[in-house]
């Protein structure tokens, strides 16, 4: 094979790998697998009851819409934090696309959070000293996935367009929650984790927020996992798990 021929074949191979990678991102989002998972602080409560997730083996494909129904005290927030890599006090194993969560270092975890996994925390977790707009910008500028005009449009849609310059600490819980929802959508992701994402919103705003989330999840070809207390129809779930 001539040098040019070798270069050309290498080029084709590299291109093919890139194509397959992109294709896998588009068609096969990150897979979540858990095995024998049990949060250590909840051992007594978990062992005394039947759960659809704790201590079980489970695989969730990247295109699923999963609802985790969790009565109070069953570890809903703990689960979201474990899946997001904030907590490590559990037994069993958890993998995102075959990558063991517990073995990921801080850099790998940051890359996962910036590019593949997004979250809406129950307690919002905004920077109280920044304005609503700055809270969104500090996330948006990390990956530059969404342009400013789109963000402003989403703020208008959720009814917080006039709160851009207000410090997060001065916003109501409902307004903070809407900022937190938009912030979670300002990055590329393959899974969106939500912990009681609409708990502070009225029904009208819940519907608006859920509609926006669904649109973006569909755009990203991502999966979603929502943990909440009661049954709901915010999203067309493909699977419901009783925690």
Partner 1 sequence: MKQAQKSMLKHLLLYGTGRGRLWAAIGALFVGNFLLLASVLIWWNFNELLYGKGEHGDAGSTYLVVGKQVTNTNVGLKGGTLFADADIAGLKQTPQVQEVGIITSNKFPVWAVLGGQVAMSTDLPLEGVPDKFLDQKPTDWDWKPGRRDVPIIMSTQFLGLYNYVFAPSQGLPQLSESSVKMIALRIKIGPEGRAETYSAHVVGFSDRINSVIAPQSFIDYGNERFAGQTAGAQPSQLILKVKDPSDRHFTDYLKEKGYSTNNENLRWSRIREIVEVVTTATGVLAVLLMGIGALVFILFIELTIARAHGSLLLLKEIGYGPGSLSGFMLGRFVPLIAGVVLASSGAITVLQYVAMRRAAESGLWLHTLPGLPVWVAMSASTAVLLLLVVRSVRAAIGK
**Where does this chain bind partner 1 (CB under 8 A)?**
84, 86, 106-107, 109-111, 113-115, 119, 125, 127, 129-130, 134, 137-139, 141-143, 183, 187
> Which of 38/130 has CB closer to partner 1?
130
Taking the complex as a whole, the smallest distance from the CB of residue 105 to partner 1 amounts, in Å, to: 9
Cα dihedral 233/235/238/243 (nearest 10)? -60
> Which of 155/186 has CB closer to partner 1?
186
Taking the complex as a whole, the smallest distance from the CB of residue 186 to partner 1 amounts, in Å, to: 9
Q: 240 by DSSP, 3-state: which?
A: strand
Taking the complex as a whole, the smallest distance from the CB of residue 46 to partner 1 amounts, in Å, to: 25
> Which of 78/187 has CB closer to partner 1?
187
The DSSP symbol for 29 reads P
> Which of 55/86 has CB closer to partner 1?
86
Strand pairing category for 32-39 and 57-60? antiparallel
Taking the complex as a whole, the smallest distance from the CB of residue 29 to partner 1 amounts, in Å, to: 17
Taking the complex as a whole, the smallest distance from the CB of residue 144 to partner 1 amounts, in Å, to: 9
Cα dihedral 70/66/37/85 (nearest 10)? -100
> Which of 105/203 has CB closer to partner 1?
105
The contacts of residue 227 (CB under 8 Å, 6+ apart) are 67, 68, 70, 76, 77, 79, 80, 193, 194, 195, 196, 243
Phi, psi for residue 140 in degrees, rounded to 5 = -60, -40
Crossing angle of helices 148-157/132-143, nearest 10°? 140
User: Can you tell me the distance from the alpha carbon of 74 to that of 76, in angstroms, rounded to the nearest whole number?
Assistant: 6
């Amino acid at each position: 094979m001539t040098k040019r021929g070798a270069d050309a074949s290498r080029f084709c191979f590299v291109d093919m790998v890139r194509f397959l990678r992109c294709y896998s991102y588009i068609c096969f989002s990150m897979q979540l697998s858990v095995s024998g998972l049990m949060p250590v602080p909840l051992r007594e409560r978990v062992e005394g009851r039947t759960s659809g997730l704790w201590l079980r083996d489970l695989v969730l494909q990247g295109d699923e819409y999963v609802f985790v129904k969790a009565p109070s005290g069953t570890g809903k927030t703990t689960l979201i934090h474990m899946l997001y890599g904030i907590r490590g006090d559990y037994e069993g194993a958890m993998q995102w696309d075959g990558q063991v969560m517990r073995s990921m270092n801080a850099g790998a975890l940051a890359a996962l959070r910036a590019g593949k996994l997004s979250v809406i925390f129950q307690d919002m977790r905004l920077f109280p000293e920044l304005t609503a707009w700055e809270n969104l910008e500090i996330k948006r500028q990390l990956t530059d996935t969404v342009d400013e005009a789109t963000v402003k449009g989403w703020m208008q849609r959720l009814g917080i367009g006039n709160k851009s310059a207000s410090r997060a600490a001065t916003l109501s819980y409902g307004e903070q929650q809407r900022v937190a929802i938009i912030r979670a959508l300002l990055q590329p992701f393959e899974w969106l984790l939500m912990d009681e994402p609409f708990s502070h919103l009225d029904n009208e705003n819940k519907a608006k927020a859920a509609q926006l989330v669904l649109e973006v999840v569909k755009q990203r070809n991502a999966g979603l996992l929502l943990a909440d207390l009661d049954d709901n129809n915010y999203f067309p779930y493909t699977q419901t798990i009783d925690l």
